[in-house]
């Protein structure tokens, strides 16, 4: 069973998607993202399998949640620096987690 201390090891922050590109080299259809986490963490790269539910223009400037303290991970020819969070819908497509109200960039989930 996980403890609150285990949860606190995860650094989950809000960030704004500032750039989106197609990622044709990925095994599954994906986007390459640049996400701004504010002045303390800065801009980080990620990739996410969001192409089934979202157009690029729908995601641009949206605030999302991501784990920012995992080590970078090589995904094909790209490096993902953060884990963008989502959950599967009933079809298995990724629904990205977005706050429903405006929140500052870089704040920690608690």
Strand partners, 19: 34
Least Cα distance to 36 among 22, 48, 19 occurs for 19
Give the model confidence (pLDDT) of 16-71 as tens digits: 999 999 999 998 899 999 999 999 999 999 999 999 999 999 999 999 999 999 99
Rounded to whole angstroms, the Cα distance separating 55 from 42 reads 25
Rounded to whole angstroms, the Cα distance separating 86 from 78 reads 20
Superfamily of domain 11-96 in CATH is Nucleic acid-binding proteins (2.40.50.140)
Average pLDDT over residues 8-14: 97
pLDDT band, residue 100 (cuts 50/70/90): very high
The C-alpha angle with vertex 101 and arms to 63 and 86, in degrees rounded to 5, equals 45
Tell me if the pTM is above 0.85: yes
């Amino acid at each position: 069973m996980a403890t609150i201390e285990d949860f606190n090891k995860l650094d989950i922050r809000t960030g704004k998607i500032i750039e989106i590109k197609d990622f044709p080299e990925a095994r599954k259809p994906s986007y390459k993202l640049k996400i701004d986490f504010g002045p303390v963490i800065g801009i980080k790269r990620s990739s996410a399998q969001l192409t089934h539910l979202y157009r690029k223009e729908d995601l641009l400037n949206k605030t999302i949640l991501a784990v920012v303290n995992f080590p970078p991970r090589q995904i094909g020819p790209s490096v993902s620096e953060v884990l963008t969070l989502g959950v599967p819908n009933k079809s298995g497509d990724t629904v990205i987690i977005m706050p429903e109200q405006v929140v500052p960039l870089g704040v920690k989930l608690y």
